[in-house]
């Protein structure tokens, strides 16, 4: 195309001056108009790159023409002055060689020219290309995001770059309903930043055209780069204007497109790894729960009988001591026995509850009403304030009322216990944004301002028999987790030491 356009331009320069004055200048105006349109439409304003490419083209042309004219001079001087079959054959062979070699020679001169005159630009493109190679070698989401964000901030120098991944990224069998922003510092989804809806106009356009979208004002984006693996939109890169106030060139977009494709491949591999890991963890957990459940059931029944005997004996002793005016010290110790028997009974009930977690009997229930009932039954400590934010338009949920009540009560009680010095418990219930026609999701969150959970403890809190409480059994949250899983939902936790903890129950609507 470059050779053809150059030929047309060269022919125009030779031929057009022979036209009339009016025709010549009318052509010039049209030529400048189309050129200006091409510059604006195709972002050809980087004059340094234009000069570099033009110089490379001129040098490549001059070299090949020099070789040709030199060969012609040698032939005419030392072989024959007649233009015969040998001369024409040589021209044809050289023409084929030029067709094969011109592009490579031009690239050689262009690379050399870039290194000499556009040293900073050359290094920039080189670093951007190397980032594509680095991102493929990463095997975790945080590592991939780090490479991408470092490239956007330090190499391309983009203002406010954002990377969006599917909300259900890494979940087995999940459906993508929206893309959420992943934070640079934490490599985790930011719930306070609006997501990109799967059924929205932007995603539809990206999937239909499969190319960069320019100027999305509502997102303050200069360009939006889709990242595809085959037919699947794996990620969306939303990039603001460059800090240098330069526009995005064709070479920028080409390299960003390659980077996006490589990132999509890496993320897709990571997703399979995450799904495999989640499947293995669920399998391990289910086997562990089954084993502990059998053991707990057997032990619970064996301990319940002797505890019943002790409890009846304490009751009998209290009756006798009340008649004879027993020593206060004896009464005190019997009181201790009675209290510990109650504690042991509660532990055994927890063990049996854990062993008896059964499939839920689903019925349409009002979540808002159930939350209010759970709160009503548990006395609120005087130094704790409870704030309820329950949406009025909550749809009925298909749940086992008794089991979900057990979950809510446990989470409320845990929140109270975490705020020994007082604080605030905020309970929210809402419907998450979804696509019309897709399954709805109810989110119920319990946010306290207590002591928080240390990061090293957080991954273990749903494990059976794990507890940080002095008198805890380590079964409460494990039972809650099993109940929510039985409802095809999710129980999530976020915590910051010294600030508080948030438990989120996600249930299908």
- Tell me which DSSP letter residue 385 carries: E
β-bridge pairing 178-182 and 384-390: unpaired
CA distance 452 to 316: 44
233 beta partners: 228
Instruction: Kindly write down the DSSP assignment for every residue of 231-257, as one continuous string.
Output: TEEEEEEEE--BTT-PPPPHHHHHHHH
Structure tokens at 346: 């509660």
pLDDT digits (tens, 9 = 90+) for 85-121: 777 777 778 778 777 777 777 777 766 665 555 444 5
Retrieve residue 91's tokens: 């021209």
Is residue 321 helix, strand or coil? helix
Two structure tokens written together for 161 = 């770059």
Q: How far apart are CA 156 and CA 148, in angstroms?
A: 11
Q: How many CA atoms lie within 13 A of 9 on its CB side?
A: 9
First to last CA, the chain: 58
Decide: 343 and 471 in contact? Cβ < 8 Å: yes
pLDDT at 394: 86
The answer to whether 148 and 259 are in contact (CB under 8 A) is yes
Spatial separation of the C-alpha atoms in residues 490 and 172, rounded to whole Å: 13
φ, ψ for residue 125 (rounded to 5)?
-65, -35
All structural domains of the chain? 2-117 (no CATH), 121-278 (3.30.450.40), 360-509 (3.30.565.10)
pLDDT score for 150: 79
pTM of the model: 0.44
Low-confidence ranges of the chain (pLDDT < 50): 1-24, 39-45, 118-120, 122, 434-438
Token code pair at residue 258: 């390659």
What does the block give as tokens for 230? Answer: 């085959």
* Residue 128 backbone phi and psi in degrees, to 5: -65, -40
Q: What tens digit of pLDDT does each residue of 207-260 get?
A: 877 777 777 777 777 788 888 877 778 788 888 877 766 677 777 777 777 777
The residue assigned the tokens 């010039």 is 28
Q: Could you tell me the two tokens for 304?
A: 């319940």
Q: Which residues are paired to 387 by β-bridges?
A: 426
Q: What's the token pair of residue 445?
A: 């969150």
Cβ-in-10-Å burial (0-12, 13-18, 19+) of 210 comes to exposed
Q: How far apart are CA 47 and CA 54, in angstroms?
A: 10
pLDDT at 8: 44
Is residue 422 within 8 Å of residue 383, measured between CB atoms? yes
Rounded to whole angstroms, how far apart are CA atoms 476 and 288? 16
Find the helix packing angle between 85-117 and 119-136, rounded to 10°: 90
Q: How far is CA 444 from CA 38, 161, 344, 430, 504, in A?
A: 54, 31, 32, 7, 6
C-alpha closest to that of 222 among 205, 237, 207: 237
Helix (H) or strand (E) holding 332: helix 328-355
DSSP 125-137: HHHHHHHHHHHHT
| CA–CA gap between residue 374 and residue 412 (Å, rounded) | 8
Q: Reduced to 3 states, what is the DSSP secondary structure of residue 404?
A: helix
CA nearest 401: which of 430, 429, 373, 441?
373
């Amino acid at each position: 195309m470059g050779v053809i356009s150059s030929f047309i331009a060269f022919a125009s320069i030779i031929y057009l001056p022979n036209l009339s004055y009016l025709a010549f200048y009318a052509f010039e105006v049209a030529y400048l108009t189309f050129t200006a349109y091409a510059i604006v439409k195709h972002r050809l304003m980087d004059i340094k790159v234009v000069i570099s490419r033009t110089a490379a083209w001129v040098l490549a042309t001059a070299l090949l023409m020099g070789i040709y004219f030199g060969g012609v001079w040698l032939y005419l001087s030392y072989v024959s002055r007649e233009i015969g079959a040998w001369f024409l054959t040589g021209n044809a062979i050289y023409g084929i060689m030029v067709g094969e070699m011109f592009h490579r020679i031009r690239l050689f001169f262009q690379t050399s020219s870039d290194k000499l005159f556009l040293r900073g630009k050359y290094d920039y493109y080189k670093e951007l290309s190397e980032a594509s190679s680095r991102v493929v070698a990463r095997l975790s989401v945080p590592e991939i995001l780090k490479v991408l964000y470092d490239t956007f901030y330090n190499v391309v120098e983009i203002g406010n770059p954002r990377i969006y991944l599917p909300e259900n990224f890494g979940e087995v069998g999940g459906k993508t309903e929206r893309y959420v922003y992943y934070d640079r510092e934490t490599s985790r989804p930011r719930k306070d930043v609006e997501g990109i809806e799967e059924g929205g106009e932007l995603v539809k356009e990206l999937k239909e055209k499969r190319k960069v979208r320019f100027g999305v004002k509502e997102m303050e984006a200069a360009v939006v780069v889709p990242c595809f693996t085959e037919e699947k939109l794996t990620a969306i890169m939303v990039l603001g204007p460059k800090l240098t106030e330069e526009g995005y060139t064709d070479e920028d977009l080409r390299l960003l497109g390659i980077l996006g494709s490589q990132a999509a491949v890496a993320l897709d591999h990571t997703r399979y790894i995450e799904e495999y890991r989640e499947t293995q963890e669920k399998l391990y957990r289910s086997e562990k729960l089954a084993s502990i459940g059998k053991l707990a059931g057997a032990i619970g029944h064996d301990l319940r009988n002797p505890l019943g005997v002790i409890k009846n004996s304490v009751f009998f002793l209290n009756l006798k001591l009340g008649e004879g005016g027993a020593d206060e010290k004896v009464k005190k110790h019997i009181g201790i026995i009675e209290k510990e028997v109650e504690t042991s009974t509660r532990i055994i009930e927890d063990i049996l509850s854990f062993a008896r977690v059964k499939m839920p009997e689903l019925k349409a229930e009002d979540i808002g009403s159930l939350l209010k009932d759970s709160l009503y039954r548990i006395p609120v400590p005087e130094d704790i304030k409870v704030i309820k934010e329950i949406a009025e338009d909550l749809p009925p949920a298909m749940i086992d009322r008794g089991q979900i009540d057990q979950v809510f009560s446990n989470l409320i009680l845990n929140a109270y216990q975490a705020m020994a010095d007082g604080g605030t418990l905020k309970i929210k219930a809402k419907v998450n944004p979804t696509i019309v026609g897709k399954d709805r999701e109810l989110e119920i969150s319990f946010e306290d301002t207590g002591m928080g959970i240390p990061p090293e403890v957080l991954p273990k809190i749903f494990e059976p028999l794990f507890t940080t409480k002095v008198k805890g059994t380590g079964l409460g949250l494990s039972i809650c987790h099993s109940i929510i899983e039985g409802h095809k939902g999710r129980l999530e936790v976020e915590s910051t030491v010294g600030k508080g903890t948030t438990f989120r129950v996600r249930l299908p609507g």
